[in-house]
Amino acid sequence: MRSVDDARSAERDIELQISSPSRLAAYARGAEVRFETDRALANRLYASHDDGADAFFAVSRAVHGFVERAVRHLTDDAEVRQFLVMGASTSDRANVHEIAQLTAPDARAVYVLFDPTMLVYAHRLRRGTEDTTAHVRARMSDIDTVLEQAAVTLDLSRPVAVVMPANLSYVRSPDRAAAIVDRYMGPLAAGSHIVATHNASDFLVDEVAPIYRRIAELAAKQQAWEVAPRDRAEVAALFSRLTLLDPGVVPAEHWRPAAEGPTTPRVAAYATVARK
């Protein structure tokens, strides 16, 4: 009969054989520890792209660049000091609290993590900031649990920015995706914001359509997860109860770029910031 430790080890082995959105995103950001499963999946998904896996890393750079700009805006211009973040970076790229605390040392952040291999590194991202950061072990959909535990670190009677980099792309039902936004933002104070990116379906179609088809094929074999790319109007509809900040829903590289960027987007990802 196997011991409990043996059973847990077997579960971990199974988990490492199947990638997850959070771990694949961490790999794209240059995570300190990388798994062959994630590298192989990235290569399979982008095999048909002219730039191969380089295109995969370009998406991560564009999304992270947008999140940095959005967090700086919220910290510097909107005076937001609290962040609830779905996921975290395990690479040398700055996490949300590190970006915010550059200009607002009192900024606080709670990270929502579920993948077991990501949780191993949760304590590292808090190193030196234990008084202003925390993590919650939960899925994004565990909204009541997330908000209850986040309230230990964050004051939910004051504005909070909810950061969802690509998370809503993995919710196939648009009604359910919109409900997730509403349920997170509903209990939060006026002046709260949501920072989000989303896989796009209506530009760079020839480049990304084969990738989406490959994901669907792998999801049918339980070797990946389902993804639901949306067009601009569909993404905007997810935030219909909120006020979109200028410039609205735009390609990630076009959301308030620090310098003049390319007129033609290079990655199929929308980005937006919306206020309650």
Q: For 10-64, write each residue's pLDDT tens digit.
A: 334 434 445 555 555 555 555 455 555 655 655 555 555 555 555 566 777 888 9
**What is the overall mean pLDDT for the chain?**
81
Domain count within the chain:
1
Say what the pLDDT of residue 265 is. 84
* CA dist., res. 179 & res. 22, Å (int): 21
Say what the pLDDT of residue 148 is. 97
DSSP assignment of 3-26? -HHHHHHHHHHHHHHS--HHHHHH
* CA dist., res. 59 & res. 72, Å (int): 20
- Which DSSP helix (H) or strand (E) runs through 83? strand 82-86
Say what the pLDDT of residue 11 is. 35
* CATH code of the domain covering residue 155: 3.40.50.150
Q: Taking a C-beta distance cutoff of 8 angstroms, is the pair 195, 74 a contact?
A: yes
The tens digit of pLDDT for each residue in 133-173 reads 998 999 999 999 999 999 999 999 999 999 999 899 989 99
CA distance readout (Å), 20 to 111, 137, 184, 231: 17, 15, 23, 24
Q: Is the pLDDT of residue 121 over 90?
A: no
Q: Is the pLDDT of residue 216 over 80?
A: no
Confidence of residue 232 (pLDDT cuts 50, 70, 90): very high
Taking Cα atoms as reference points, which of 138, 223, 221 lies closest to residue 180?
138
Residue 272 CB: number of other CB atoms within 10 A? 25
Q: Which residues pair with 82 in a beta bridge?
A: 108
Pairing mode, strands 193-199 and 269-275: antiparallel
Q: Which stretch of 17-21, 111-115, 146-150, 249-253 has the lowest confidence by average pLDDT?
A: 17-21
Say what the pLDDT of residue 92 is. 61
Q: What is the CA radius of gyration of the chain?
A: 18
Taking Cα atoms as reference points, which of 133, 193, 192 lies closest to residue 157?
192
* CA dist., res. 218 & res. 25, Å (int): 17
CA distance readout (Å), 213 to 58, 199, 220, 263: 20, 14, 11, 27
Domain residue limits at 249: 4-275
